[in-house]
Chain A
Amino acid sequence: MSLIDWCVLLFTLLAIVLYGSWKTRKNKNLESYLKGNNSENWATIGLSIMATQASAITFLSTPGQAYESGMGFVQFYFGLPLAMILISIFFLPIYYRLKVYTAYQYLEQRFDVRVRAFTAFLFLVSRGLAAGITIYAPAIILSTLLDWNLQLTCLLIGGLVIVYTVSGGSRAVSLTQKWQMTIIMGGMFAAFFYVLDSFPETIGLSEGIDIAGKLGKMEIIDTTFDLKEKYTIWSGLIAGLFLFLSYFGTDQSQVQRYLGGKTLKASRMGLMFNGILKIPMQFFILFIGAMVFVSFQFNKPPIIFNTSATNIETQKQESLVLIESNYNLVFEEKKEALLAPKTDTKTIQFLQAQQDSLRNSYKAEMSKIDEGYESKDSDYIFLTFVLNFLPHGLIGLLLAVIFSAAMSSTAGELNALASTTTIDFYKKFWKDSGDEKKDLMVSKLLTVAWGVLAIIIALTAGLFENLIQLVNILGSIFYGTILGVFLLAFFFKRIGGTAAFIGGIFGQIVVLSCHFLTVYEVIELGYLLYNVIGSLTVITVGIIIQLFINQKHKLGSNN
């Protein structure tokens, strides 16, 4: 990284932090701190919703995913627009009418305090852990590739977020997210044009798409109905709908974003904005990955992208040198075939299969030499391209994109964690002083506490090998239950608090059982299905318990 990259990176990050803190310096009470005085317009809400969802790993991992296995991941988002519509019709008007700070407050009004505390607790557990990983995941990649200190990178991301989230609360989070999202999209567009620029002169965009297509990277839709497959059109539309209903409708980190809207109309428009733009945005990020793949057909890629993550001296290992020299030969042959005026598609596919097989052999050999070597290197692909092919200045901007994404989602999470702890636990069970200044101070202290906890989790995450994977599925483990309770509240008017509470506990036990049975390979289930299973179990058990309670009352009154 050159001096100009450092200047661009530090200027962008500091400007956003100072802007957010300065614009919201007049926060005087809890309402303005937690809900931003209901002053956001639809564009800010829409961008803020998108920024909260898109973490740094979205921009690091997604292009790598398209590079490795094509663009099928976009199917994961098919349920999102449908979820936006349902939330806009059913969830949003109720939250507005009741003027709640957190989604879980509504559950006390509808059921009882147990159900509120139960769902709020599930949210705190899943989101509290996720906040740490939101910081750790990009930090480990940045520190590996750029040789930065991992602890310092975690502290920098976490520290900057704490500064403006504590000082400006929800409004600072929304305002900074608007600018962070603008920088993110600007940076990604710039990267896209440089990817195309890295193609040989005879290869344009349409030829690039054609090459990606011939090599299997443009297979977007999978119509097979297979419960084991993670990404198919059906899992996206059905399980994705449940996941996004739960995430956007009941996860406080998202609910808080649209509850800050000026009017109900502004919040609804923000949701529509997200529903329209989310799939094209994900498609675009995946498409960048597919084009990076095309670029690496003509610019020799490293055989593995995370060499810096291992201490193996690869040039001193004879077996590795042999595989790499074969890999280079196949690369040159394929490059010539692609540039030749008429080459049979099957020849290119055959050479690509050979290249993939050599890459896998190399990884297997690396794992033999160093057992600790992590063979999944797709998260490093996009950043490797950025560092090698983008001009100075733009490298700094792309790193600012990754930091911005990490900061925007972490800020949304910390803000929501502090709100839920303040409203659903501190003010509810401990002390409702009625003193606005004191409550505001408690809320700020809780934001600092959650921020420090997130940094501690990020600093120790390396000790737990599978923590990232665990946190990825953590959302699905808890979301189904929370959504089931909310669906009972919205659509099953005769269900009472006890039935909902028992249904919730039962649903959580069933989802956890499914997860452990999957982990121990007793059954095979895609983790997206946990959302469907959890929700349906809560609803079914809730209805049965309510029928049982009704029957008991009937018998009691007859006696």
Chain B
Amino acid sequence: MEEQAENKKSESKDTTNWKAWYWGLMIFLALQIAIYLFITNLYTI
């Protein structure tokens, strides 16, 4: 029980904006796909 409380405490101490990280990662993925699509269209035989 003590350990669980300790874990919850350290989790609540974490002030990282994880939502921003997740959105950032998804936008980065979309951006990469867009670039790859652009390259593909540029060279489609």
A interface with B by C-beta (< 8 Å) = 74, 78, 81-82, 84-85, 88-89, 93, 96-97, 99, 213-214, 216, 218-221, 233, 263-265, 268, 272, 275-276, 279-280, 283, 349
Contact = CB atoms under 8 A, between A and B. Distances in A.
Given A74-B36, A88-B18, A279-B32, A264 B26 contact: no
A216 B42 CA distance: 11
Contact of B29 (A81, A89, A218, A219): A81
Contacts of B40: 218-221
Given A85-B22, A272-B25, A78 B33 contact: yes
Nearest to A214: B43
Given A97-B4, A264-B14, 12 more contacts: A78-B29, A78-B33, A81-B26, A82-B29, A84-B25, A88-B22, A89-B18, A218-B40, A264-B7, A265-B14, A279-B29, A283-B36
Interface in B1-45: 3-4, 7-8, 10-11, 14, 16, 18, 21-22, 25-26, 28-29, 32-33, 36-37, 39-40, 42-45
A268 B33 contact: no
Greatest chain B CB density within 10 A among A82, A93, A218 is at: A218
13 contacts: A78-B29, A81-B28, A82-B29, A93-B11, A99-B3, A214-B43, A219-B45, A221-B40, A264-B10, A268-B18, A275-B25, A276-B25, A279-B29
Contacts of B45: 214, 216, 219, 349
Nearest to A213: B43
A218 B39 CA distance: 7
Contact of B26 (A82, A88, A220, A233): A82
Contacts of B29: 78, 81-82, 279
Nearest to A280: B32
Greatest chain A CB density within 10 A among B18, B29, B32 is at: B29
Greatest chain A CB density within 10 A among B4, B7, B43 is at: B43
Contacts of B7: 96-97, 99, 264
Contacts of B10: 263-264
Nearest to B22: A85
A259 to B, nearest CB: 13
Contacts of B44: 219
Contacts of B39: 213, 218, 220
B43 A81 contact: no
Contacts of A218: 39-40, 42-43
Nearest to A279: B32
Given A74-B36, A93-B11, A85 B26 contact: yes
A35 to B, nearest CB: 14
A134 B18 CA distance: 35
Contacts of A81: 25-26, 28-29
Contacts of A216: 43, 45
B25 to A, nearest CB: 5
B35 to A, nearest CB: 9
Nearest to B11: A264
A423 B32 CA distance: 41
Contacts of A272: 21, 25
A283 B14 CA distance: 33
A367 B38 CA distance: 40
Contacts of B4: 97
A75 to B, nearest CB: 8
A74 B36 CA distance: 10
Contacts of A275: 25
A265 to B, nearest CB: 5
Nearest to A264: B11
B9 to A, nearest CB: 11
B3 A219 contact: no
Contacts of B8: 97
A96 B7 CA distance: 8
B29 to A, nearest CB: 5
Nearest to A269: B16
B26 A219 contact: no
B25 A233 contact: no
A84 B21 CA distance: 11
Contacts of A283: 32, 36
Contacts of B21: 272
Greatest chain B CB density within 10 A among A78, A81, A88, A233 is at: A81
Contacts of B32: 279-280, 283
A221 B36 contact: yes
Nearest to B4: A97
Contacts of A97: 4, 7-8
A245 to B, nearest CB: 15
A409 B5 CA distance: 35
- 5 smallest beta-carbon distances between A and B, as pairs: A213-B43, A220-B36, A218-B43, A221-B40, A85-B22
Nearest to A222: B40
Nearest to B3: A99
A264 B18 CA distance: 12
Contacts of A264: 7, 10-11, 14
A551 B8 CA distance: 38
Nearest to A84: B25
A85 B27 CA distance: 12
Given A78-B29, A280-B32, A265 B43 contact: no
Contacts of B22: 85, 88-89
A1 B9 CA distance: 57
A89 B26 CA distance: 14
Contacts of B43: 213-214, 216, 218-219
